[in-house]
Structure 1
């Protein structure tokens, strides 16, 4: 900030105590930034945006490659939330990271601009009864998102694009080489200053509860309910103490945009959710909404890693000081080079049911590649990332001899259409800063249902990726050596466990006998459990996609599987309150004056990365609200 420039007009909780606004937006993340910006385009209405995190608009948060950081908090706040231990994944607790601050996770994600196959949205409309959410309905709003400055090169997002294939990806990077985030696109300083007379942006503000019916608890949950205000407390970043909640009122509507974890948590604390859970916690039931906190969905990644020369990978920035210096100079001089790019720019989308299980070629018939058909939605994405995706030392992992000093290309096999879901539940009803308890989706192979189908898809996807890796290493003519598959199914599990044990925040536990038995399909005792190994004596993978066993694939997945950080569906859209939380206009069932706009409303998780679909939801929500109040 220049010494004489005007500061960003952020306010604090004390400034809005007892005030009334036309609209209150709870959460200034990816979708919330959109809603607040679009509603405040009308100067005749007053809009209050309440964001839990800070502004923290530091320059480092704008550098594309460096801002992709889910561990450090120098670029924006990182939520330190973790799942409950997952028995089937060796009792690991996965880090459920996300951004906290204006712009939310769009300020630290992978910058990839993918919308998902059109058939996925058509499925929302045709199979789930959500009129107005087919591809033809949502696609114009996705184009609006591009109006904020996202460049389009080879458009893998075109409606006519194939459902399967190898694609160059659009990236959320401005022409000057800086990151596009929801904050910079929708709530930048120019916008905030121009609208400060009717747009109030309040940071470090934790909404603790919704006020319903002006604070009067209804006699039954069949009585009329209306959202009338919010209780919000000052919650300075980095401090445990929280101020006393104050009440702020809404004349028209409250829009909750807290994300897939905070949104259902706030609903539950306000008496909106499954009756049994609310009664167990002693919370008066305002509305029995069984789907609140349920149906948690995510993309699930399995890294398969090929060793490459360091200079061919992002590791060169760390391992070769001169490369790092040159890259910084290049970026600060011209906004170009490695630092101006996301960590991956190409990807492969495929459908496992279209793979020949003898050759692992994918079918390329026109019918199967029609991306508008719900049955053709790809269920696997293989991202090509020139970095170690298992324990990157640059973000805090302890060094390990098996990876230290090596360069890697990761074929990041991401399952994007798993049907296994998880759920969350309240831990505390008195401490609004306490995270909810998150039960991450756990595929169970012997459940006779979606878990068995999901595991079958995972095994096909991993074999497909191993085939790609084999082609690259042995048959593609890649000129640089070494090039060898080091991390994949069939490798030395002692070495693997030694590498994975130090991932930040995962709190890795030594696998239980039950978990190991599940993984390798053999009877074992405690004495035979794998122990972490610090040995660097890692050898090229001998197993191939043809010779690896399902048990070896399962064991590798259970030890290395990672969250895709695309959490969704915990307050999903559905025509009825029995099946969902909001209707097709994003109104909470049975509660007037209350809408939700974030990834929690997805009825099913899209096949693409969730940033752009979240922006789309924010755009549509603002449009619904404007239409509802037009002329009033």
Structure 2
């Protein structure tokens, strides 16, 4: 057997690729090569949960992507950090664990994604979970991925919960009960020792000693090799040399929403006219590659606060002790995240599911360590940013050159749909209502942004245009389904090709109602079983509150 020949070659060791490599090599007869353009994932800043505040923008950990000028956001360019290391974005993200609403996956099935309804995917959410709640018809307790509750101490969680209840919004004990609505305790991918549970730590690292798994870091894939309409391997650059790896069965792209369509197009698979513009020979005309780009836009809402926020934990002496407490005991404020809560709500009761999420923090993300007389204390502030869960706006990813090392063009086209402005405005008004309600009101000071005087639709729209950004939840550029713009079929095979799949967030045909790391891992779990031919049967659980017949 040739050293450069494998059963499967997986490109990208992120939220999906790390899972696939671990699952496929459970069969000792299957030989897998996993290529990662970035480095390792064992840095203490990665492992310590609160380290994400620095890791998310640290050079060396990320692809420093930027959007093209966004025409509906005052032509601003937005930064789009994506993980470039083992574990991908699961190694740098905020660790929030949200599956999405059951209706999201049922909508996928209605869009031509047979086998991806809520009943189909629930067994895989259970399979991947090691939930603090224990085993039930909704949760798993023996999966690789640790899911734990966020802290309530230090984070003003109880005050926010009580204010939301008093303001008339629903409270939930389990945001994953299939209804996914209300205000509840945040769940995080953090293990029992207080370490980040990235897909590298949870899936890949335990599998790396297997003789049938080869993992190469700092290996930049250049293109997929093809013979006619069949993928046969990949070309990649490693240690300054151009190398090839052959795939006896399949090449699997798990580069993520920006990199997977880029690699398809660099390989001659994509919109033919665009490929010709780049002087790339057309292997297969697939017009949907790079289209359907979707993202959860986020609009900031910011308040002054009483001197009781997380800023107090950033005093240098307290922070030093907290780092030591995390390192030796796996506990304390640095062993968790800084979210007070992430309320998932409807801006209109007539909606069938929530359309906004509030990102509530008792500190701003640019707050720094401080000490009296040496470094000035950051001001006490509260954030209640409005996130659109189901925006109508869509963008695209396109090549700017025929070289893999050059970044793609990313045009999010946020707020191109007027309905998205209306949803964001309604979300701002809901955030104001909650933060003006007792007992949260006793902590909340003057509104800084947009400002209490900003009330008209026109003024709020200008705030949205001038300040909104993303939540780093891109998806959809290799959408699964049927029809002329689909890129992969429900088995995640690239339509019109053989021996080639895309398995990552780019295949999602539409948004999920929350953070996308959990559904991306679910996609990889189910895809691994599709490849093995051992898909779990669909399951219809009872929702909480329902009694057995």
For normalisation by structure 2, the TM-score amounts to 0.86
Alignment partner, residue 409 of structure 2: 437
Alignment partner, residue 233 of structure 1: 237
CA contact (8 A) 2:108 2:117 kept: yes
Matched residues in 2 for 1:71 and 1:586: separation? Answer: 29
1:192 corresponds to 2:208: yes
What is the CA-CA distance between 1:470 and the residue it aligns to?
2.3
What is the CA-CA distance between 1:245 and the residue it aligns to?
2.0
Alignment partner, residue 170 of structure 1: 187
Matched residues in 1 for 2:207 and 2:244: separation? Answer: 27
CA contact (8 A) 1:84 1:93 kept: yes
Match of 1:64 among 49, 68, 76: 49
Match of 1:99 among 64, 83, 108: 83
Matched residues in 1 for 2:67 and 2:19: separation? Answer: 29
Alignment partner, residue 435 of structure 2: 469
CA contact (8 A) 2:73 2:415 kept: no
Matched residues in 1 for 2:429 and 2:440: separation? Answer: 21
What is the CA-CA distance between 1:302 and the residue it aligns to?
1.1
Match of 1:410 among 383, 386, 393: 383
Match of 1:257 among 237, 254, 275: 254
Matched residues in 2 for 1:268 and 1:17: separation? Answer: 28
Could you tell which deviates more after superposition, 323-332 or 435-444? 323-332
> Deviations along 1:308-364, whole A, 9 cap, x unmatched?
234x3232243x22322332233234211110111215221112232xxxxxxxxxx
Judging changes above 3 Å, is the alpha-carbon distance between structure 1 residues 155 and 594 closer, same or farther for their aligned structure 2 residues?
farther
The 5 A counterparts of 1:368-447 are 376-389=352-365, 392-394=366-368, 405-429=378-402, 431-444=403-416
Gaps of 5+ in 2: 130-142, 150-171, 370-375, 536-549
Alignment partner, residue 452 of structure 1: 418
The 5 A counterparts of 1:21-420 are 21-73=6-58, 77-126=61-110, 128-146=111-129, 147-151=143-147, 156-160=174-178, 162-188=179-205, 190-193=206-209, 195=210, 197-213=211-227, 218=228, 225-234=229-238, 243-310=240-307, 312-318=308-314, 320-354=315-349, 376-389=352-365, 392-394=366-368, 405-420=378-393
CA contact (8 A) 1:167 1:347 kept: yes
Gaps of 5+ in 1: 1-15, 219-224, 236-242, 355-367, 369-374, 396-402, 445-450, 492-540
1:568 corresponds to 2:540: no
Alignment partner, residue 136 of structure 2: none
CA contact (8 A) 2:296 2:390 kept: yes
Matched residues in 1 for 2:388 and 2:82: separation? Answer: 20
CA contact (8 A) 1:170 1:345 kept: no
Let me know the Cα RMSD of the aligned residues.
Answer: 2.2
Judging changes above 3 Å, is the alpha-carbon distance between structure 1 residues 152 and 588 closer, same or farther for their aligned structure 2 residues?
same
For normalisation by structure 1, the TM-score amounts to 0.75
Aligned residues: 494
Alignment partner, residue 485 of structure 1: 446
> Deviations along 1:486-532, whole A, 9 cap, x unmatched?
3223x3xxxxxxxxxxxxxxxxxxxxxxxxxxxxxxxxxxxxxxxxx
CA contact (8 A) 1:37 1:186 kept: yes
Alignment partner, residue 459 of structure 2: 552
Whose Rg is larger? 1
Matched residues in 2 for 1:106 and 1:205: separation? Answer: 19
> Deviations along 1:118-140, whole A, 9 cap, x unmatched?
001001112x0211010000010
What is the CA-CA distance between 1:175 and the residue it aligns to?
1.1
